[in-house]
Structure 1
């Protein structure tokens, strides 16, 4: 079983064991591990696969039929959807009683023009004697969550379940790459996020810094170009979207009014584009009126690579030293906050973000007993008495009280902090991994 995918695997197995045929929709952003999950799930099952292309229905039927003929199947040059499904799943003289799995990748392209494919698939499963588990996959999460139901209408009632494959948590990276230190793991997670499709590109024998330089900063690095390609496929008016993403990556313009002042775009226009970016899971609203880039790889690109496209051409370790090293601790602090949130949500009944007037974000947590805990964090640098003084001033100014104060720090803390009257607990994000 894949590390960190126990719940998703159980969901798939549960539907596979049900009597009769089912249709599942499995979706998640590119690189999140949908293919690896389904490959692991179908390892000992009779599995059929087809990957749809972005073309008309007639061209789709032609290409699918041609692929089947290349496998030795007999089918017309321009087959119907029914003929394709029948040719794909039924073999003459076959006696196996095991349920087959049919995986159709990028299924959104099959519904681009109309819903006839889904209608025929539902009719085919109702009339077919043998049970079949059909898994429809797509990277278009925003389309599934916001547009699919209105597109297919009542046909959605024939879908047995929806499974969103989310990014793997930091704890999964710690298990998979156990030879890395906590700080190295945080550095990698800050750039690659929870996308195992990108983790596979790492060389475990190399340091985190060496991996980042090799994957992102060498002249032949393909990941930055791939990111540009993905964005251009999903977004029109890329100049506007790039401007908004670059503005958010700056870290000082996360509020709508700040974006308006910085970009010159109208507030209404910015709101529309932010909505589209949130549907693509590139941006999220973390607090009322405050937005952040939530895709780690996109954030790295717009923090470090995008602003220096016209700079003197440097690459590799030279680029890292010139543009990244001094800024990287601040860059990964947002990721560290997200990792802390992952740990806290496993421990406390409620976990809320609290944005102080000075712009620092803290956590307010409550236990089942009602005890209140304020949580601060310093990332991979030492937590100092100055950090604590800022926290105390913020709590006093905004009348926040706490039974305990919890500090996350991977590089220790000043010993004088233990001399206060409030109970202070120091924690590492790795203690729950």
Structure 2
């Protein structure tokens, strides 16, 4: 598979290696997000030892690690009785040759020996510091990486020279992989999200529906049980978490709504929500004009497009999919997909706003997000406090061109957004899948910007 993007992350790793003295980087993120591909790409141009841990006995893990070190330096494999001796041996060899040492899936080693971070601490403090080498610890278990490597209580706390919390691709990044036109690219992204492995499973020479049938709805496909696998790698008892994610994916976004849909009392629910947030399965959102930590108007949404798709369409229909996947696709997924994609389209338009700001197509804004109060909601609101300027925008994934009705509705709602002085500068934008009625752009003033799919495609696929 061709390596895609990650230029910023590669540059950060390169800076860590090239800077004077040793490097100690931590790379973590959800499974399938491309950590291993990133590190292998980085290692290509450097002398390196790449060790991939596995879920097996500690002694065998240690033996494999020492064998790999010995092979790299053309040594006879020494007799090693503990991890302290293994790292001491590694340190002796690194003193002779600057080398990148990657330990991938480090949490598997910690599972077998919870003292391992202390051995790594001694290695960093006493041996690698005097070299030009670089140690990289990588892991998919976010809970373990944040507690045992990055946490305040970890022996390794404060010793890293860099860290990368690797994220899924944005739509703009994924566009390099998705081989459809802009409309189907957005539909496809609404199903796969930005996880590199999911993106590359689709055959973009086939219609989108065929990819859904073969790669998601087939019980033999990787993606059919993927969310369950992800949850079981992080949680011992995922049943309640599954029900919470399904509730959020099907539109219950407030704590009260989630509690009502799952039957979980608000007290315990808050702990489950906190865990799902920490594991990057959900995100908490407040209106862009509110203060995040204190606002009581929070909503939750599934943080990944594929998970949102799976919990909305696959999990509730498993029995039917096992018997007649084609009927589920034609009767449930296909007719409801536009509503699902509409939410993704809003996120794509958020990306387009930031890109338009970078290119000078829109004025600058310090923060961009959703806004709601009571029954009113606006898809995108941008705030520029230094200029007393606000951007108000709507995104429509509809089959009909946008007309005067949306202009009037947005203008009315703008007055109810309580932010800034009375004489603030108000700018407006409309994003539409199906374009705009004839003459609309000419009728509106300079404070309105209109973006159809071609304009969005130009922003998100052309050069910055």
TM-score normalised per structure 1 = 0.87
Query: Partner of 1:285 in structure 2?
Result: 284
Pair 1:203-2:168 in alignment: no
Query: Partner of 1:109 in structure 2?
Result: 108
Offset of residue 33 of structure 1: 1.2
Tell me: CA distance 1:349–1:424, structure 2 relative to 1, closer, same or farther (3 Å).
closer
| Unaligned runs of at least 5 residues, structure 1 | none
Contact kept in structure 1, 2:58 and 2:113, CA below 8 Å: no
Pair 1:371-2:389 in alignment: yes
Whole-Å Cα distance in 2 between the matches of residues 393 and 146 of structure 1? 48
Query: Partner of 1:11 in structure 2?
Result: 12
Tell me: CA distance 1:299–1:359, structure 2 relative to 1, closer, same or farther (3 Å).
farther
Whole-Å Cα distance in 2 between the matches of residues 250 and 46 of structure 1? 49
Whole-Å Cα distance in 2 between the matches of residues 29 and 384 of structure 1? 42
| Unaligned runs of at least 5 residues, structure 2 | 287-296, 358-363
Offset of residue 396 of structure 1: 4.3
Offset of residue 29 of structure 1: 1.0
Pair 1:353-2:370 in alignment: yes
CA-based RMSD: 3.0
Contact kept in structure 2, 1:52 and 1:107, CA below 8 Å: yes
Tell me: CA distance 1:430–1:73, structure 2 relative to 1, closer, same or farther (3 Å).
farther
| SS state at 1:45 partner | coil
Tell me: CA distance 1:320–1:402, structure 2 relative to 1, closer, same or farther (3 Å).
farther
Tell me: CA distance 1:193–1:312, structure 2 relative to 1, closer, same or farther (3 Å).
closer
What is the count of residue pairs matched by the alignment? 424
| SS state at 2:332 partner | helix
Pair 1:343-2:352 in alignment: yes
Whole-Å Cα distance in 1 between the matches of residues 328 and 8 of structure 2? 41
Whole-Å Cα distance in 2 between the matches of residues 269 and 262 of structure 1? 14
Residues 16-415 of structure 1 aligned to structure 2 (within 5 Å) = 16-54=17-55, 59-66=57-64, 68-69=66-67, 73-76=76-79, 79-86=81-88, 97=97, 99-112=98-111, 116-125=115-124, 126-127=126-127, 130-145=131-146, 148-150=149-151, 152-153=153-154, 155-177=156-178, 179-251=179-251, 253-287=252-286, 288-311=297-320, 313-346=322-355, 347=357, 348-350=364-366, 351-358=368-375, 360-366=377-383, 369-379=387-397, 381=399, 382-397=401-416, 403-415=426-438
Query: Partner of 1:429 in structure 2?
Result: 456
Whole-Å Cα distance in 2 between the matches of residues 20 and 395 of structure 1? 55
Offset of residue 82 of structure 1: 3.2
Contact kept in structure 2, 1:374 and 1:402, CA below 8 Å: no
TM-score normalised per structure 2 = 0.82
